[in-house]
C-alpha cells in the first residue's frame, strides 16, 4: 500500500552503485528504513543532497507489514534549507544531532510530539542568522523529556547539583560521584528551560560549553543503552573550540 508521510533524515547508507538505504523518523510511522533508488555512486548529485542529515522530506512509499526496508516511490523536500548545510558549523551540528537521534530512536512507533519537536527545532535553527553555539545543548536537554528520562527543574533558585545517575537535582553530592558541579548544574537548568532556538546562553564560555556537551552525553549514556562513542562528537568539539 502506497502512503505519504513527512520525515526527517537520520542516516543514509549506500546500498549499491545506484541505490541507498535511508533511515528516517517519519511523522506517521516512527522510524523507518527506505530503499531509495537513483542514489549511490551513480546517482544524481541533487538526488543525494536531499538525504543529508536532518533534511525534512515528503515521502511516498509502500509500507508492508513485517518488512525491515520499504520501497520509496518518490520524495522531495518539505522544507527547503536556508543555511543548515551551507554553514560549516551548522552542518557539523546537524551531523552530530542526526547521530544522536540514530542512537536514541529505535522503534517504529508513531510519536507526534517527538516528531514535531525535532522538525520545529531543525526549521528554527536553519532559519536563524548565524549559528547559535548552544543550540545542540538546548536540543539535547529538552529531548531527554520526550525520551522519558528528563529531570524536573526545581522551582527555586537554590544552589543545586545534578545527579546524573538518578536524573534529579539535589543539594548534597550523591553516592557514586556521578554529578554535575554547581556551575554545570546551573547551566543545565537554563538549558532545560530556554527555547531551543532562542539566543545563546549568557555567560557561556567555550570551555564550559565543551564541559556541558561531555556532561549531557554522559547523562544520555547512563539512560540510553548503547549510546557511547558518538563519532561526530569529536568533530563538534573541534568546531566549537
Q: Give the chain's domains with CATH numbers.
A: 1-80 (2.40.50.140), 85-241 (1.20.1440.120)
- pLDDT band with cut points at 50, 70 and 90 for residue 44: low
pLDDT at 241: 77
Exposed, middle or buried by CB within 10 Å (0-12, 13-18, 19+), for 219? buried
pLDDT at 41: 55
Contact 180, 196 (CB under 8 A): no
Is the pTM higher than 0.85?
A: yes
Tell me which residue of 85, 101, 87, 95 sits closest to 49, measured CA to CA: 85
Q: Percent of the chain at pLDDT above 90?
A: 76
DSSP state for residue 87 in the 8-state scheme: S
Tell me which residue of 149, 141, 121, 175 sits closest to 8, measured CA to CA: 121
Cα–Cα distance for residue pair 84/25, rounded to 1 Å: 18
Contact 126, 86 (CB under 8 A): no
- Which of residues 85 and 41 earns the better pLDDT score? 85
Cα–Cα distance for residue pair 203/90, rounded to 1 Å: 21
pLDDT at 19: 84
Contact 34, 13 (CB under 8 A): no
- pLDDT band with cut points at 50, 70 and 90 for residue 236: very high
Q: How much is the average pLDDT of 106-132?
A: 92
pLDDT at 129: 84
- pLDDT band with cut points at 50, 70 and 90 for residue 55: very high
pLDDT at 103: 96
pLDDT in tens, 135-163: 999 999 999 999 999 999 999 989 999 99
pLDDT at 39: 65
pLDDT at 40: 55
Amino acid at each position: 500500500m502506497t502512503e505519504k508521510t513527512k520525515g526527517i533524515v537520520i542516516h543514509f547508507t549506500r546500498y549499491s552503485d545506484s541505490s541507498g538505504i535511508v533511515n528516517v523518523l517519519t511523522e506517521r510511522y516512527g522510524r523507518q528504513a527506505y530503499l531509495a533508488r537513483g542514489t549511490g555512486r551513480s546517482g544524481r548529485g541533487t538526488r543525494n543532497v536531499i538525504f543529508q542529515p536532518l533534511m525534512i522530506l515528503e515521502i511516498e512509499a509502500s509500507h508492508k507489514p513485517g518488512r525491515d526496508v520499504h520501497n520509496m516511490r518518490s520524495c522531495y523536500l518539505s522544507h527547503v534549507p536556508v543555511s543548515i548545510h551551507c554553514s560549516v558549523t551548522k552542518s557539523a551540528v546537524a551531523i552530530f544531532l542526526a547521530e544522536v537521534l540514530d542512537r536514541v530512536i529505535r522503534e517504529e512507533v508513531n510519536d507526534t510530539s517527538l516528531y514535531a519537536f525535532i522538525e520545529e527545532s531543525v526549521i528554527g535553527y536553519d532559519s536563524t542568522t548565524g549559528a547559535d553555539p548552544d543550540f545542540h545543548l538546548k536540543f539535547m536537554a529538552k529531548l531527554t523529556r520526550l525520551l522519558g528520562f528528563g529531570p524536573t527543574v526545581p522551582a527555586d533558585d537554590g544552589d543545586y547539583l545534578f545527579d546524573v545517575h538518578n536524573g534529579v537535582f539535589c543539594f548534597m553530592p550523591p553516592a557514586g560521584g556521578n554529578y554535575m558541579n554547581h556551575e554545570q548544574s546551573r547551566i543545565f537548568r537554563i538549558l532545560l528551560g530556554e527555547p531551543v532556538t532562542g539566543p545563546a546562553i549568557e555567560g557561556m564560555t567555550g570551555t564550559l560549553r565543551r564541559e556541558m556537551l561531555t556532561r549531557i552525553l554522559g547523562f544520555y549514556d547512563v539512560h540510553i543503552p548503547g549510546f557511547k562513542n558518538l563519532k561526530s562528537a569529536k568533530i563538534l568539539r573541534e568546531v566549537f573550540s
